[in-house]
Copies of this chain bind each other. A is one copy, B any other.
């Protein structure tokens, strides 16, 4: 389904080439100051064309708050946020009407629904993440007012860690009509202990689901993640001291509940599947055909995933904070 969260519950709508994309926030705490200016900067950051490294679709993506605000404050009613789609050239996508792009959702949507909006990826497009970032901006503001910050950064692209090397990898991929993947690290500082539930509702389970729900993400790890699999317990345990812990291999979560340490997550982002290089695929009639995906495509979406991942972590945290508040 298209909702996320139990208490600060968002419901997303919209396709790449429909009329609008947006989100409804249900459960936004009342009395919080909120204007479009709290949201717009994060949308601008997510927007393509704001970096040399990302694609060129040039939309303004102005958010409109449709409901839930009275005299500048949230009322407890649903906050609906809408961003009109502009600058759509559906004809760009005519080839994709019948061909399934390798590595893309085209084939599986067709199998699942028997119908598919092929224009710009439709519902599976990166543009869907605008709603997440808009709702995430509200969550981030709420967290910031309580001393909690959430920050993402590019850790690696195509195996490289330095910005100039990363930029070069992306440029080379672009020239070759190809794409590259990478790793994003997101950290939350200032979280109180006690967030998350044991068993199925572990904080890390929520986070893993949230992150893997971002398109192109193929792996998630908490704290030292996969590296812990090669360790002794005596190396990996975070021993305690008077005011906290001697290390943070656990990434701020023990037994599914936040410990008060920094929450540290890394996600693996696969290379963009839409590439100009010729690939073999099928069309909806079952024929084997060649495809070269033209148009405006990022050779690397890792930079654009950063604000989306921040938004998702913020949404998980606010949700768990409201859940935890029930018992205080």
Interface residues of A (CB under 8 A from B): 1-4, 7, 9, 11-15, 18-22, 24, 26-27, 29-31, 64-70, 73-80, 82, 100, 102-109, 111-117, 122-124, 128, 156, 158-159, 173, 176, 178-183, 193-194, 197-202, 204-213, 215, 218-242, 246, 250-251, 253-260, 268-275, 277, 279-282, 286, 288, 322-328
Smallest Cβ-Cβ distance to A242: which chain B residue: B288
Known: A107-B240, A258-B108, A273-B233. A199 touches B116 (CB 8 A): no
Contact A12 B78 (CB under 8 A): yes
* A29 → chain B closest CB, angstroms: 6
Instruction: Evaluate whether A236 and B271 lie within 8 angstroms (CB atoms) in the complex, with A77-B122, A80-B13, A282-B241 already known.
Output: yes
One complex includes copies of this chain to the number of 4
Cβ–Cβ < 8 Å partners of A209 in chain B: 200, 205-206, 208-209, 212
Pick from B31, B78, B208, B281: contact of A212, CB below 8 A: B208
Q: Is the Cβ of B256 less than 8 Å from the Cβ of A105?
A: yes
A275-B234 contact given A15-B67, A66-B22, A268-B225, CB 8 Å threshold: yes
* In the complex, residue of chain B having the shortest beta-carbon distance to the beta carbon of A68: B13
Task: Specify which chain B residues have a CB less than 8 angstroms from the CB of A325 in the assembled complex.
Answer: 325-328
- Least CB separation from A328: chain B residue: B325
A220 touches B208 (CB 8 A): yes
Can you name 17 extra interface pairs (CB under 8 A) apart from A31-B113, A221-B268, A240-B281? Answer: A2-B197, A3-B3, A3-B11, A11-B11, A30-B113, A75-B117, A77-B117, A108-B259, A111-B193, A176-B232, A178-B233, A201-B213, A202-B212, A204-B218, A208-B220, A228-B270, A233-B274
Which residue of chain B lies nearest to A250 when distances are taken between CB atoms in the complex? B103
CA separation between A99 and B71, bound complex, in Å?
18
- The answer to whether A3 and B14 touch across the interface, beta carbons within 8 angstroms, is no
**How many angstroms between the C-alpha atoms of A277 and B325 in the bound complex?**
37
Given the complex, which residues of B lie within 8 Å of A232, measured CB to CB? 158, 173, 176, 178-180, 271
Residues of B within 8 A of A202 (CB): 212-213
Complex A-B: 19 CB contacts under 8 Å: A2-B26, A13-B79, A15-B77, A70-B116, A75-B117, A77-B122, A102-B239, A108-B253, A109-B255, A112-B324, A158-B231, A158-B232, A159-B230, A218-B223, A220-B221, A221-B268, A225-B268, A322-B326, A325-B326
